[in-house]
Chain A
């Protein structure tokens, strides 16, 4: 009798291996977990990436610096603005020019809006991962308001490419400040709904508390940054460690929790949305006057090596430019947050159930193009 594939696999290895991905609802993109199961329990898992590797770093070696910015949108598309900002800051830093305070304020406002929008989408998807389907529509409803603000000023909703070395592509729309203030009051009312729908739910708490424990040492060792790292008590907020743009001018708290489980990573992100609203409130009325674009004749980094760290919605983004003085970099390296955040998942998920694996990968908030670049 013809043996089925299933039989052969189980007889040979005595392991039940399933491939989660590259097309799977819970990997949020083309990522593959080669998961070895023992019943429902995950014995180990091997992440396979590269399905959306586009060689951005190689491409950048042949592009001029302003062109590079447009590629960075496509890495972590949910924090597109912050990626742009990182490259722009790095080039400005290399050329030793200082942008006006107006640019700094607008960049920071955009960055915080991006952070809220990104956390909203994460909240939607995290609820979906746990089987609470209604969260998706609550989050997207509110995210739409932010995207509308983006669209009005930049003309684009997701990949804005609004930064350029030396400033911004254009000045802000006259409605910009008004709409942000509207959004702040609107979202302050809507955020408690998030807690009512998901945070307080007994099933949700049972599913997330004590799942995927990550100690502080582990977070540092694996380089897990952003809300995922801060959920373990790792003080890794670049906005505090190495302030850039308008962050030195404002007061805000770095949100850290010490439990290190999926639930604390969840709480950190919810708290960050509140904190971002506070930051926006401090900034939106105080945008100074000034030009939004420096008059730079040529955009060339001088010979040397430059590194810029920024805090995206998912963690630390590093841009490392090695320049020979030409119009394009000799080598550019993006140290992306998701790349480091991904590989801890084997440690976190081993020994848990398959449903917990989904919860853990959801709580790490992975964006796959950011891993593969």
Chain B
């Protein structure tokens, strides 16, 4: 499926989506409440079949936390980038997609560990890399500690 078709399809499903800045893959900025619905459609629709989530991460930007999903189809090999923007920086919550792609479970744990973004309905949301009693979320831009490498 070409990028244009995909754009049209997603515009049909979610009229309120906005195109993203990436030129590499077709990118869509979705509202949080529509995320799960669109993801499920993308995976199960017979023309998209986005069955492989190859990257899930978060970015700390000025307008909030961006959670970025890179997905692709193992059959048709077309990819897409989906993005949700969480404007609430204190207590960001986003629904989990680990029911759709199992690999998301651990990507989400990593994001929770390093950004403090809560994933709703996640089966096992614990810290992954840092110790359980670690204070703060290191990859946030406002994170400060004694050993930071900032110069």
Cα distance, A316 to B68, chains bound together (Å): 18
Instruction: Give chain B interface residues in 49-64, CB to chain A under 8 Å.
Output: 51-55, 57, 59-61
The 9 closest A-B pairs by CB, nearest first: A223-B103, A50-B129, A53-B129, A335-B55, A333-B57, A221-B102, A331-B59, A343-B106, A62-B149
Cα distance, A8 to B132, chains bound together (Å): 24
Q: Is there an interface contact between A58 and B138, defined as CB atoms closer than 8 Å?
A: yes
| B103 CB contacts on chain A under 8 angstroms | 221-223, 340, 343
Interchain pairs with CB closer than 8 A, number: 84
Closest-by-CB residue of A relative to B25 is A307
Stretch at the interface among A191-199, A234-242, A257-265: A234-242
Q: Is there an interface contact between A304 and B21, defined as CB atoms closer than 8 Å?
A: yes
Q: Is there an interface contact between A343 and B57, defined as CB atoms closer than 8 Å?
A: no
- Which residues of chain B have a CB within 8 Å of any CB of chain A? 21-25, 51-55, 57, 59-61, 68, 70, 74, 77, 81, 101-103, 105-106, 110, 114, 127-131, 138-139, 149-151
Question: CB of A358 within 8 A of chain B?
Answer: no
Most buried by A among B54, B70, B130: B54
| B23 CB contacts on chain A under 8 angstroms | 304
Q: Is there an interface contact between A335 and B21, defined as CB atoms closer than 8 Å?
A: no
| B53 CB contacts on chain A under 8 angstroms | 223
On whether A305 and B22 interact (CB within 8 A), knowing A223-B52, A223-B53, A333-B57, the answer reads yes
| A241 CB contacts on chain B under 8 angstroms | 77
Question: CB of A372 within 8 A of chain B?
Answer: yes
Cα distance, A333 to B54, chains bound together (Å): 12
Q: Is there an interface contact between A49 and B128, defined as CB atoms closer than 8 Å?
A: yes
Q: Is there an interface contact between A318 and B74, defined as CB atoms closer than 8 Å?
A: no
Nearest Cβ distance between residue A154 and chain B, in whole angstroms? 27
Closest-by-CB residue of A relative to B57 is A333
- A contact residues, total (Cβ < 8 Å): 35
Closest-by-CB residue of A relative to B124 is A46
Closest-by-CB residue of A relative to B66 is A322
Q: Is there an interface contact between A55 and B54, defined as CB atoms closer than 8 Å?
A: no
Nearest Cβ distance between residue B113 and chain A, in whole angstroms? 8
Q: Is there an interface contact between A53 and B130, defined as CB atoms closer than 8 Å?
A: yes
Instruction: Give chain A interface residues in 86-130, CB to chain B under 8 Å.
Output: 93
On whether A343 and B54 interact (CB within 8 A), knowing A322-B59, A331-B59, the answer reads no
Closest-by-CB residue of B relative to A371 is B129
| B138 CB contacts on chain A under 8 angstroms | 55, 58
Cα distance, A340 to B52, chains bound together (Å): 12
| B101 CB contacts on chain A under 8 angstroms | 221, 223
Closest-by-CB residue of A relative to B55 is A335
Contact with B along A269-290 (1 / 0, CB 8 A): 0000000000000000000000
Q: Is there an interface contact between A372 and B60, defined as CB atoms closer than 8 Å?
A: no
Nearest Cβ distance between residue B64 and chain A, in whole angstroms? 14
Instruction: Give chain A interface residues in 291-320, CB to chain B under 8 Å.
Output: 304-307, 309, 316, 318, 320
| B150 CB contacts on chain A under 8 angstroms | 62
Q: Select one of A62, A322, A343 contacting B151, CB under 8 A.
A: A62
Q: Is there an interface contact between B21 and A305, defined as CB atoms closer than 8 Å?
A: yes
Question: CB of A169 within 8 A of chain B?
Answer: no
| A142 CB contacts on chain B under 8 angstroms | none
| B70 CB contacts on chain A under 8 angstroms | 307, 318, 320, 335
Nearest Cβ distance between residue A158 and chain B, in whole angstroms? 24
Cα distance, A227 to B55, chains bound together (Å): 19
Cα distance, A55 to B53, chains bound together (Å): 23
20 A–B contacts from the bound complex (CB under 8 Å) = A50-B130, A53-B129, A55-B138, A62-B151, A220-B74, A222-B102, A223-B53, A223-B101, A234-B74, A235-B74, A305-B68, A307-B25, A307-B55, A309-B54, A318-B54, A318-B70, A330-B61, A333-B57, A372-B129, A373-B129
